[in-house]
């Protein structure tokens, strides 16, 4: 996933992005993500802004039943390549890459964006029944035969 500073036209243009990154988020998270989509480039004298929303996909673990399932999520991207490497720009929220010319490797920045946008709670489906708290059986395969604890009456009526 590269942005070629020498070939990017002045003004506005589009950059197609496709690639794979290792997320490194830990257990239960998708270990790697395939990122694809288009970024809008604004090529000004001293800087190139790249922004847009890319799509990421990977194999994640369901938080309820622990099964592996394909997860897709949106990755908002906003980054800036500063060609003026003496600039002291710091206050911006935007990801900064300092490079004067040639090909800029966007992999690290896009990995960061994909990791930041990773969904908080990943389940294989809204209807996933998860695992039985007593015996650990996957309840999506049917009831496990454990007797359910009676519901505390104080909680009844709550959604
Ligand atoms: Zn599940
Ligand atoms: Zn059970």
Residues 71 and 7 both lie in one domain: yes
CA distance linking residue 89 with residue 95, whole number of Å: 11
Residues 82 and 9 both lie in one domain: yes
Pick the ligand that lies closest to the CA of residue 149.
2
Residues 19 and 70 both lie in one domain: yes
What's the gap in Å between 64 CA and the centre of ligand 2?
A: 14
Q: Which domain holds residue 64?
A: 2-128
Judge whether residue 149 has pLDDT over 80.
no
Tell me what pLDDT residue 27 has. 87
Question: How confident is the model over 29-48, as a mean pLDDT?
Answer: 95
Using alpha carbons only, what angle is made at residue 102 by residues 97 and 106, rounded to the nearest 5 degrees? Answer: 40
pTM: 0.82
Residues 97 and 22 both lie in one domain: yes
* pLDDT tens digits along 60-80: 999 999 999 999 999 999 999
Residues 83 and 158 both lie in one domain: no
Per-chain mean pLDDT for the chain: 90
Q: Which residues of 126-135 are buried (b: 16+ CB within 10 A; e: fewer)?
A: eebeebeeee
Tell me what pLDDT residue 71 has. 97
Give how far the C-alpha of residue 104 lies from the chain's centroid of Cα atoms, to the nearest Å.
21
Residues 142 and 71 both lie in one domain: no
Return the percentage of the chain with pLDDT > 70, whole number. Answer: 87
Tell me what pLDDT residue 157 has. 66
Residues 38 and 79 both lie in one domain: yes
Pick the ligand that lies closest to the CA of residue 139.
2
| Residue with the larger pLDDT of the pair 89 and 37 | 37
Question: How confident is the model over 85-107, as a mean pLDDT?
Answer: 81
Residues 97 and 28 both lie in one domain: yes
Residues 72 and 135 both lie in one domain: no
Residues 77 and 43 both lie in one domain: yes
What's the gap in Å between 131 CA and the centre of ligand 1?
A: 8
Please state the domain count of the chain. Answer: 2
């Amino acid at each position: 996933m590269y942005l070629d500073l020498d070939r990017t036209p002045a003004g506005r243009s589009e950059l197609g992005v496709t690639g794979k990154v290792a997320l490194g988020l830990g257990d239960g998270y998708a270990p790697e993500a395939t990122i694809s989509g288009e970024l809008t480039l604004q090529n000004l004298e001293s800087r190139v802004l790249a922004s847009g929303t890319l799509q990421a996909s990977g194999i994640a673990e369901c938080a309820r039943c622990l099964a592996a399932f394909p997860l897709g999520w949106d990755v908002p991207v906003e980054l800036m390549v500063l060609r003026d490497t003496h600039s002291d720009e710091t206050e911006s929220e935007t990801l900064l890459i300092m490079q004067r010319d040639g090909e800029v490797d966007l992999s690290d920045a896009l990995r960061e964006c994909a990791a930041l946008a990773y969904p908080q709670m990943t389940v294989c489906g809204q209807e996933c029944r998860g695992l039985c708290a007593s015996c650990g059986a996957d309840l999506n395969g049917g009831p496990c035969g454990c007797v359910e604890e009676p519901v505390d009456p104080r909680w009844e009526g709550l959604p």
